[in-house]
Amino acid sequence: MKNIILNFFKFLNLTYPKKLNQIIFLSSPDFSDNSFATFKYLIENATIGYKYIWLVDEIENKNLYFNMIKNNIDIEDNELCKIKIIDKKSFCGLLNYINSRYIFFTHGFYAGMSLPKSQVRINLWHGMPLKTIGYLDTANQSMDIQKCTYTIATSKRFQKIMSDAFLLKSNSVLTTGQPRCDFLFNQSGCLTTLGIKKEQYKKIIFWAPTYRNTEDGKMQDGDFQNHLPLLNNGELSKLNEYLLSIKSYMLIKLHPMDALNKHDFEKYSNITIIKKMDLLENSCQLYSLLSEVDILLTDFSSIYIDFLLLNKPIIFAIDDFDVYKKTRNFVFSEPKGFMPGAIVENYTELINVLDDLIVRGNDCYIDKRDKVKKEFHLHERGFSNRLIESLQL
């Protein structure tokens, strides 16, 4: 029965007329990432009277989504009527998907849907991959991969990778850079919104670990120990005391899919743990927050590739490299060669590197960051504008 329904909608999508001025947006989490940045640019700059539709996972957060729009986009209240928010699992959501000319998405949905020439689907994805994705991810080859007209890349190197990952010709991979990176140069006071007074601290550190186990338990990469990577029991408290002693603050942003979002963490004086709803509830975009920090701590997350644009220190917290490589694998044979920062494997090594950066002021990776940045980025500003011009919207 399910296949009959799917085949019906595949046929419907091929034959149903498209509304040329209607644009669909999808992202995960809702109202975030490259889709939100593209949406913001179009709202503020488009000369054509487009109608905008967001298909969302959590329709119950509709008021929070409108707050996100009003607090991050230059829009008059009387213009909000041209924006619709619809449950993407509903019949109405599916019907609007089928009759829209343009669709921007960061994660696949309606994966088995046909792609007619009358519809333009732009797979904005959610970061340039260090890990294998799409058809390169042989461990998950059975997963449906959504068909698209275009995807994007930040450089010629990533253009080839994205082409192979989504079986697209190279001229269908637009080297525009990522729209979300516009937020890196658009500070909006997210730290203040989160109750953190930047002027009180010597450095703000942002830790963005990728997930090891998903909240629903369906995906596992690397070694999951039911605590933050790198740290053993009690070391988060020790880390807080250390940060207090050097007058610095750390934000730990959990991946939206991370099983740790269900974990109850203690409250700390110099550490805030950001879970998947916190940014939405405070109308903050992740990259607006990232623009305000001084040091990035991460692992295999693509966030560091974007952070290179700011030429600020990066630390790589990796204590399960061999295990992770067995479960996921990488697009580069030697990924550590593209990591322009100290690699730490335990709490002691992390403290030593933070001492070097914050206490002694030694940044030994400036030249290597610049070299990798030039390899990974063709452009340093104007990402949303370049994308919209490439699509002639």
pLDDT digits (tens, 9 = 90+) for 263-300: 677 899 999 999 989 999 999 999 999 999 999 999 98
Q: Are 342 and 252 in contact (CB under 8 A)?
A: no
Tokens of 318: 């990796």
Q: 217 falls in which pLDDT band (50, 70, 90)?
A: very low
Using DSSP's 3-state secondary structure scheme, residue 174 falls into strand
Hey, CA dihedral for 210, 214, 220, 226, is it positive or negative? positive
CA distance 204 to 293: 5
All structural domains of the chain, each given as residue ranges with its CATH number in brackets, are: 2-177+381-391 (3.40.50.11820), 189-376 (3.40.50.12580)
Phi, psi of 13 (to 5 degrees): -65, -30
Better-scored residue on pLDDT, 78 or 368: 368
pLDDT tens for each residue of 144-167: 788 999 999 999 999 999 999 999
Strands 83-87 and 100-105, how do they pair? unpaired
pLDDT at 312 over 70: yes
CA distance 265 to 261: 10
Q: Say if residue 93 is exposed, middle or buried (CB neighbours under 10 Å; 0-12, 13-18, 19+).
A: buried
Which residue type, as a one-letter code, is found at position 329?
A: N
Write down the pLDDT at residue 222. 46
Name the pTM for this structure. 0.93
CA distance 355 to 91: 56
